[in-house]
């Protein structure tokens, strides 16, 4: 847990100490920076964050409820449509919409909130879909027996138990909008992320940037603590009678209204979040020369290797966490501390990168420890690992809550050797680790701000190419870079679809392999 605490509070602590050491320098600039204009930009950012969270939940909650409760035909096609916005970074989709609409209706807070909300909707859907599969319907049925109506039982029991997963879905969307720079710049919106870069670059002072970055950590910590409190109310444990749970979780034949509504909503998400931007980029990708394609493949390979490195490090960290934390009440308290890592999501990515710049600056302890490694992609990979850790630890928290408390004691009695016990434990948690690793891979490939701030000499990434071409208004040349990033993300999307169907299984199938032999 020391590693979790260091990752959660380390960047903020570094920035805070650096700000105090240069208080006189940062104070003069902050008195000018924290003007009425800056306050209005901060309020605008909070508004965009709230709207984007609302967009994500407005689509994810009804779709997750419909697909978990009812046996709707074409479930796989629906899930593909829901997850399709993951193939676009918000700033890439925003560029397509800006060119399609010629800057009409795309330069306001609502437009940016819709784009960020659609990009975050698949993550909220995954969280809610898996959480719904963990909740037995016996609680809701007991409320109906006690005289509650169907609507009352749903809102007072089921939805109340889902406050933690709903808060988690809102967190990822709101945090993405709060620290976003690329999408806001493409939409011409002066949010906190854009203002941070302007103030930092205009002052030519890391102390000023550190002070603003430390201030941005406050809403993140507040939201992370709120999510931790709400998550403890989530009760995903299996009921004692697995056969009764299987019968309770059997899906019903859907009314025609539910089927039509699910297809309509999934179609809207698919069209706005994927189909329209995809059609625009495909139409401009037809005029590509062979030398340009060779350059695209070289940069794509480097991006692919770096993203795999981030996935490997976080998968190893998740596996060690699973082995170190025992299931049960103690595990619940320990796994809850992972929520503290989500506070880093609220850092504007450039502010988060500034913590690594300060820690590895010339003459610092970090520079002496890293040595020549500082001139490679190590800083970019390390920063992405810390930032994207919540994406892989959230599924692991779910499996820790579901693991029977007596499972490891049983393994000690019947499994021969330490290696066998480790293998059986990791085998139970491996689907969740694979799910999180797929999310990390997709998000790491789309990450822009950390790569642009921490990039060493001769470092290249697909996201940097897209951003550079957008700065020079070369929108047509972005098409091959956007499409190659989607091709690389397709295997990860396949893992999400496969593990989604397995992780959303009824409890008797999820716990197969941990039941004692008869």
Q: How confident is the model at residue 242 (pLDDT cuts 50, 70, 90)?
A: very low
Q: What is the CATH number of domain 12-511?
A: 1.10.3720.10
pLDDT at 510: 38
List the structure tokens of 441.
């891979």
Q: Which of 254-258, 315-319, 339-343 is most confident?
A: 315-319
Q: How far apart are CA 369 and CA 367, in angstroms?
A: 5
Q: Are 212 and 200 spatial neighbours (Cβ–Cβ below 8 Å)? A: yes
- Residues 156 and 89: beta-carbon distance below 8 Å: no
Q: Is 370 or 131 the better-scoring residue by pLDDT?
A: 131
DSSP 20-62: HHTHHHHHHHHHHHSSHHHHHHHHHHHHHHHHHHHHHHHHHHH
Comparing 119 with 198, the larger pLDDT belongs to 119
Q: Identify the three-state secondary structure at position 252.
A: strand
Q: What residues contact residue 442 under an 8 Å CB cut-off, 6+ apart?
A: 86, 489, 492, 493
What pLDDT score was predicted for residue 352? 73
Per the CB < 8 A criterion, the answer to whether 428 and 493 are in contact is: no
* pLDDT (tens digit per residue) in 123-141: 999 888 877 777 766 677 7
Q: b/e for 396-424, b at 16 or more Cβ within 10 A?
A: bbbbbbbbbeebbeebeeebeeeeebeeb
The predicted structure's pLDDT at residue 243: 36
Q: What would the DSSP string read from start to end of 280-314?
A: HHHHHHSS--HHHHHHHHHHHHHHHHHHHHHHHHH
Cα atoms in the Cβ-side hemisphere of radius 13 Å centred on 48: 32
Q: Is 72 left (phi over 0), alpha (psi -120 to 50) or beta?
A: beta
Helix, strand, coil proportions of the chain in percent (round to 5)? 80, 0, 20
* Domain range list for the chain: 12-511
| Per-residue confidence (pLDDT) for residue 244, from 0 to 100 | 38
Q: In this predicted model, what pLDDT tens digit does every residue of 74-106 receive, in sequence order?
A: 888 999 999 999 998 888 888 888 877 765 655
Asked which of 344-353, 366-375, 442-451, 473-482 is least confident by mean pLDDT, the reply is: 366-375
Q: Is the pLDDT of residue 294 over 50?
A: yes
Percent of the chain at pLDDT > 70 equals 73
The pLDDT value given to residue 240 = 37
Burial degree of 452 (CB within 10 A; 0-12, 13-18, 19+): buried
Asked if the model's pLDDT at residue 47 lies above 60, the reply is: yes
* pLDDT tens, residue by residue, 251-265: 667 788 888 999 999
In whole angstroms, give the CA distance from residue 322 to residue 243: 28
d(CA 196, CA 182): 13
- Tens digit of each residue's pLDDT (9 = 90 or more) over 188-218: 778 877 777 777 776 666 777 777 777 766 7
User: What DSSP character marks residue 515?
Assistant: S
Query: Which residues sit opposite 70 in a β-bridge?
Result: 252
512 confidence band (pLDDT: 50, 70, 90): very low
- What would the two tokens of residue 369 be? 């420890």
Beta bridge partners of 252: 70
User: Which of the four pLDDT bands, split at 50, 70 and 90, describes residue 121?
Assistant: very high
Mean pLDDT, rounded, for 328-343: 63
Is residue 397 scored above 50 in pLDDT? yes
pLDDT band at 315 (very low <50, low <70, confident <90, very high): very high
What integer pLDDT is reported at residue 159 of this predicted model? Answer: 76
Give the whole-angstrom CA distance, residue 211 versus residue 401: 38
Average pLDDT over residues 236-244: 42
The encoded tokens of residue 424 equal 């059986």
- 152 or 124: which leads in pLDDT: 124
pLDDT in tens, 264-288: 999 999 999 899 989 888 887 766 6
Q: State how far the Cα of 436 lies from the Cα of 433, in Å rounded to an integer.
A: 5
DSSP state of 70: B
More confident residue, 237 or 255: 255
Q: Say how far apart CA 62 and CA 69 lie, in whole Å.
A: 11
What integer pLDDT is reported at residue 232 of this predicted model?
Answer: 61
**Cβ atoms within 10 A of the Cβ of 201, count?**
11
**Taking CA 115 as the corner, what is the angle to CA 113 and CA 121, rounded to the nearest 5 degrees?**
90
Give kind and range of the element (H or E) at residue 177.
helix 163-179
Choose among 388, 366, 344, 375: nearest CA to 492. 388
- The whole-chain average pLDDT of the chain stands at 76
Tell me: pLDDT of 437 over 70: yes
CA atoms within 13 A on the CB side of 315: 19
* Cα torsion angle, 489, 490, 495, 496, sign: positive
3-state secondary structure of 9: helix
Cα separation, 260 vs 266, whole angstroms: 10
């Amino acid at each position: 847990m020391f590693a979790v605490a260091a990752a959660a509070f380390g960047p903020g602590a570094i920035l805070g100490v650096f700000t105090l050491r240069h208080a006189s320098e940062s104070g003069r600039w902050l008195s000018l920076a924290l003007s009425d204009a800056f306050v209005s930009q901060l309020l605008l950012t909070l508004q965009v964050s709230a709207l984007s969270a609302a967009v994500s939940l407005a689509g994810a909650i009804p779709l997750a409820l419909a697909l978990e409760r009812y046996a709707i035909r074409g479930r796989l096609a629906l899930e593909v449509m829901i997850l399709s916005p993951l193939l676009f970074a918000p700033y890439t989709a925003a560029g397509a919409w800006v060119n399609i609409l010629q800057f009409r209706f795309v330069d306001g807070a609502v437009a940016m909130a819709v784009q960020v909300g659609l990009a975050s909707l698949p993550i909220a859907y995954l969280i809610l879909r898996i959480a719904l599969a963990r909740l037995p319907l016996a609680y809701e049925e007991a409320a109906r027996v006690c005289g509650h109506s169907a609507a009352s039982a749903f809102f007072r029991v089921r939805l109340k138990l889902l406050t933690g997963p709903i808060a988690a879905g809102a967190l990822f969307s709101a945090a993405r909008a709060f620290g976003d720079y690329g999408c806001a710049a493409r939409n011409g919106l002066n949010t906190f992320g854009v203002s941070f870069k302007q103030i930092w670059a205009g002052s030519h002072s890391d102390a000023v940037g550190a002070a603003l970055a430390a201030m941005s950590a406050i809403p993140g910590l507040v939201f992370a603590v709120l999510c931790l409190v709400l998550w403890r109310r989530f009760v995903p444990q299996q009921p004692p009678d697995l056969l009764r749970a299987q019968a309770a979780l059997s899906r019903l034949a859907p009314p025609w209204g539910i089927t039509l509504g699910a297809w309509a909503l999934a179609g809207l998400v698919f069209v706005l979040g994927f189909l329209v931007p995809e059609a625009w980029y495909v139409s401009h990708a037809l005029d590509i020369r062979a030398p340009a394609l060779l350059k695209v493949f070289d940069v794509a390979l480097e991006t692919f290797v770096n993203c795999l490195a981030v996935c490997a490090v976080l998968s190893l960290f998740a596996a060690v966490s699973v082995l170190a934390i025992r299931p049960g009440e103690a595990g619940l308290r320990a796994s809850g501390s992972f929520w503290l890592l989500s506070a880093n999501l609220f850092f504007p990515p450039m502010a988060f990168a500034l913590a690594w710049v300060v820690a590895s600056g010339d003459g610092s302890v970090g520079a002496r420890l890293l040595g020549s490694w500082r001139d490679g992609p190590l800083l970019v990979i390390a920063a992405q690992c810390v930032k994207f850790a919540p994406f892989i630890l959230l599924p692991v928290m779910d499996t820790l809550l579901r693991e029977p408390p007596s499972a490891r004691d049983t393994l000690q009695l019947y499994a021969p050797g330490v290696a066998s016990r480790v293998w059986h434990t990791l085998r139970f948690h491996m689907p969740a680790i694979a799910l999180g690793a797929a999310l990390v891979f997709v998000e790491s490939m789309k990450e822009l701000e950390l790569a642009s701030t921490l990039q060493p000499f001769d470092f290249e990434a697909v996201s940097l190419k897209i951003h550079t071409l957008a700065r020079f208004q070369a929108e047509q040349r972005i098409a091959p870079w956007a499409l190659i990033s989607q091709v690389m993300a397709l295997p990860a999307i396949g893992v999400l679809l496969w593990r989604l169907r397995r992780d959303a299984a009824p409890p008797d199938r999820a716990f197969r392999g941990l039941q004692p032999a008869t």
